């Protein structure tokens, strides 16, 4: 297969009157070619190929149009079913040239591969539910695919355009003949419950629902149970591996501690403390990026000196005491870890000098502990918090994890839910606790975190809310994008 990149030609001079035609993989032969992209109505747009543009130029000449013509080819791969032929007259004349050029800053590729008869894929019995962008970009021509018995729904309303065609035109082409444009009737999509109501049109078309509890993170039967004392004693740069004796579990519990620059130089100065909680499937070493950035921020005087404690959350505990009592993570943190840290290190042992921060499941733990024990924490920092509520926990949480943490008991989950705890203790939090929520603007948890922020507003609990641009649910990138801004919160909390 031979592929040729179409180079961008630089025109030294262009006459005042000229015609510009556009070629795109999203084009159609019955469009004028005068637009660089399909219009919103799908009624006009670019041409689909060099051959179509060449024929359009010939038609202009036949109609008596005598002016320079430029054909701009959009980026993408164009498959040439036959040799592309230009005759001498197709070049125009010195004062009325015909120029083929790449669209500015785009790279079209001409492929001489001959497409053998085949079907690349079949797309059927699916739900296509969207609230932004357009449906079917690129080139959806030919018969190498088959689409049918699907449900399409654009939450924004209005007509749906299928690769530049109306739904009727799309069906006439042989695609989606038994499909429908209709609300699929999810139970509660605003709260991420995408289970279907019994009268959903998708079920009538043969859609097979997926039990969402069976996808995503789940216990690994071959994975050893998480240990209270992490057997991996590796300590990320700037941290120290430590343990303490727990009467609750009758054994040792590990954690990592990061002491601020200058801690060893002074025997009198005391410091505030931030407890950092890792996400689902993680461990205490997951805070490596956080402490590295914190250390740099302290040295740059962008953050006040503080002690950071990276907590062992037993991989998937949600930082709650398990329903069966076998994993009392909450009790160990509140009743033992915090007193141990205050006794062992030079801390300022007051709520005003104690913060808690965590990412994802750690964000759930932060909200759970921070709002259940407002007498302990003066600052609560929820980073991309997986803030499940009673309506979503059954649909979003794997059954084995739901059983492991909450005994599959919705009432027990509700008693530990941040959504419930913040309302219950609003009077003790309001005006006394500094609260921050930050989440990536591409994170699937964005809407959930925004809704929690709205609840805080409703309860008249002041809080910061920040979206981090260009970030999905990626902890390392999230903190790196935040940079020093991650620690401005602590200047407000602790001063300095």
DSSP, collapsed to helix, strand or coil, labels residue 287 as helix
Question: Which residue bears the tokens 């507003």?
Answer: 457
Taking residue 88's Cβ as centre, other Cβ atoms within 10 Å add up to 6
Residue 348 and residue 484 in one domain? yes
Beta bridge pairs of residue 255: 242, 311
Cα–Cα dist 409/390, whole Å: 10
Paired with 101 in beta bridges are 72
Residues 76 and 190 in one domain: no
What pLDDT score was predicted for residue 114?
A: 57
Let me know whether 271 and 175 are in one domain: no
Domains in the chain, number: 3
Q: How far apart are CA 310 and CA 393, in angstroms?
A: 26
Candidates 175, 185, 400, 386; CA nearest to 279 is 386
What is the value of pTM for the model shown?
Answer: 0.62
For position 418, which CATH number holds?
3.40.50.1820
Sign of CA dihedral 385, 390, 391, 395: positive
In a domain, 385, yes or no: yes
CA atoms within 13 A on the CB side of 381: 24
**Cα–Cα distance list, 13 to 52, 67, 97, 99 (Å):** 26, 14, 11, 12
**Contact predicate 71/21, CB 8 Å:** yes
Among 52, 78, 111, identify where a domain stops. Answer: 111
Residue 23 falls within a domain, yes or no? Answer: yes
Strands 69-73 and 96-102: parallel
pLDDT in tens, the chain (496 residues): 444 444 334 333 333 478 999 999 888 988 999 999 888 777 899 999 999 999 999 999 888 888 999 999 999 888 887 888 888 888 888 888 999 999 998 999 988 765 566 677 899 999 999 887 778 765 666 667 899 999 999 988 888 988 888 999 999 988 999 999 999 998 877 666 788 889 999 999 999 887 655 555 555 656 778 999 999 999 999 999 999 999 999 999 999 999 999 999 888 899 999 999 999 999 999 999 999 999 999 999 999 999 999 999 999 999 999 999 999 999 999 999 999 999 999 999 999 999 999 999 999 999 999 999 999 999 999 999 999 887 777 666 677 888 899 999 999 999 999 999 999 999 999 999 999 999 999 888 999 999 999 999 999 999 999 999 989 899 999 999 998 889 999 999 998 6
Is 177 a domain residue? yes
Do 416 and 477 share a domain, yes or no? yes
* Residues 63 and 195 both lie in one domain: no
Domain end position, chosen among 111, 145, 170: 111
In whole angstroms, what is the distance from residue 165 CA to residue 43 CA? 8
| Torsion of the alpha carbons at 388, 394, 398 and 403, rounded to the nearest 10 | 100
273 touches 344 (CB < 8 A): no
Note whether 161 and 21 are same-domain residues: no
* Residue 226 is assigned to a structural domain of this protein: no
Do 444 and 296 share a domain, yes or no?
Answer: yes
Strand partners, 162: 165
Question: Would 222 be classed as within a structural domain?
Answer: no
Q: What is the pLDDT of residue 353?
A: 97
In a domain, 231, yes or no: no
Residue 481: what are its φ and ψ, rounded to 5°? Answer: -65, -40
Same structural domain for residues 59 and 173?
no
Beta pairing class for 251-258 and 273-277: unpaired
CA–CA separation, 281 and 212 (whole Å): 18
Q: Which residues span the domain enclosing 142? A: 121-209
Are both 106 and 180 inside the same structural domain? no
Tell me, what's the pLDDT at 13? 36
Rg (CA), the chain: 30
Residues in the chain: 496
**Last residue of one domain, picked from the residues 111, 138, 168:** 111
d(CA 259, CA 238): 8
Going by C-alpha positions, the residue among 275, 266, 273 that lies closest to residue 347 is 273
Same domain as 195, residue 97: no
Contacts of 432 (CB under 8 A, 6+ apart): 374, 378
Of 443, 406, 444, nearest in space to 320 by CA: 406
Kindly state whether residues 318 and 355 are assigned to the same domain.
yes
């Amino acid at each position: 297969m031979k592929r040729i990149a179409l180079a961008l030609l630089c025109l030294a001079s262009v006459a005042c009157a000229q015609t510009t035609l556009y070629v795109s993989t999203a084009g159609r032969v019955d469009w004028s070619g005068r637009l660089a992209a399909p219009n919103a109505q799908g009624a006009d747009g670019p041409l689909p190929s060099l051959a179509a543009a060449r024929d359009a130029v010939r038609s202009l000449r036949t109609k008596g149009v005598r002016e320079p013509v430029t054909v701009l080819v959009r980026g993408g791969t164009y498959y040439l079913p036959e040799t592309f032929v230009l005759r001498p007259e197709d070049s125009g004349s010195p004062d009325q040239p015909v120029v083929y050029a790449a669209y500015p800053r785009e790279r079209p590729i001409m492929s001489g591969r001959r497409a053998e008869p085949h079907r690349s894929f079949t797309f059927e019995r699916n739900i296509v539910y969207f609230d932004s962008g357009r449906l079917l970009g690129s080139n959806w021509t030919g018969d190498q695919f088959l689409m049918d018995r699907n449900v399409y729904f654009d939450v924004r309303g209005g007509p749906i355009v299928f690769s530049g065609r109306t739904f009727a035109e799309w069906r006439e082409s042989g695609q989606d003949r038994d499909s429908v444009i209709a609300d699929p009737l999810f139970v509660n999509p605003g709260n991420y419950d995408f289970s279907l109501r019994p009268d959903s049109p998708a079920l009538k078309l043969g859609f097979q629902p997926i039990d969402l509890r069976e996808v995503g993170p789940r216990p690994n039967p071959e994975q050893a149970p998480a240990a209270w004392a992490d057997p991996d004693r590796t300590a990320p740069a700037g941290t120290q591996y430590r343990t303490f004796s727990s009467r609750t579990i009758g054994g040792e519990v590990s954690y990592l501690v990061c002491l601020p620059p200058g801690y060893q130089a002074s025997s009198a100065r005391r410091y505030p403390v931030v407890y950092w909680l890792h996400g689902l499937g993680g461990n205490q070493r997951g805070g490596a990026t956080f402490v590295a950035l914190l250390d740099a921020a302290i040295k740059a005087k962008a953050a006040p000196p503080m002690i950071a404690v990276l907590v062992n959350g037993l991989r998937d505990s949600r930082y709650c005491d398990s329903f069966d009592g076998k994993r009392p993570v909450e009790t160990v943190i509140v009743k033992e870890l915090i007193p141990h840290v205050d006794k062992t290190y030079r801390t300022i042992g007051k709520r005003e000098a104690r913060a808690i921060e965590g990412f994802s499941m750690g964000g759930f733990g932060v909200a759970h502990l921070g709002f259940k024990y407002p007498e302990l924490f003066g600052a609560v920092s929820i980073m991309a918090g997986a803030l499940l509520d009673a309506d979503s926990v059954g649909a979003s949480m794997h059954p084995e994890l739901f059983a492991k943490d909450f005994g599959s008991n919705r009432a027990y989950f509700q008693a530990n839910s941040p959504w419930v705890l913040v309302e219950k203790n609003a009077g003790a939090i309001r005006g006394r606790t500094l609260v921050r929520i930050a989440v990536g603007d591409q994170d699937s948890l964005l809407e959930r975190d925004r809704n929690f922020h709205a609840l805080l507003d409703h309860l008249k609990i002041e809080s910061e809310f920040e979206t981090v641009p260009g970030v999905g649910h990626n902890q390392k990138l999230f903190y790196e994008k935040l940079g020093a801004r991650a620690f401005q919160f602590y200047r407000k909390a602790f001063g300095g």
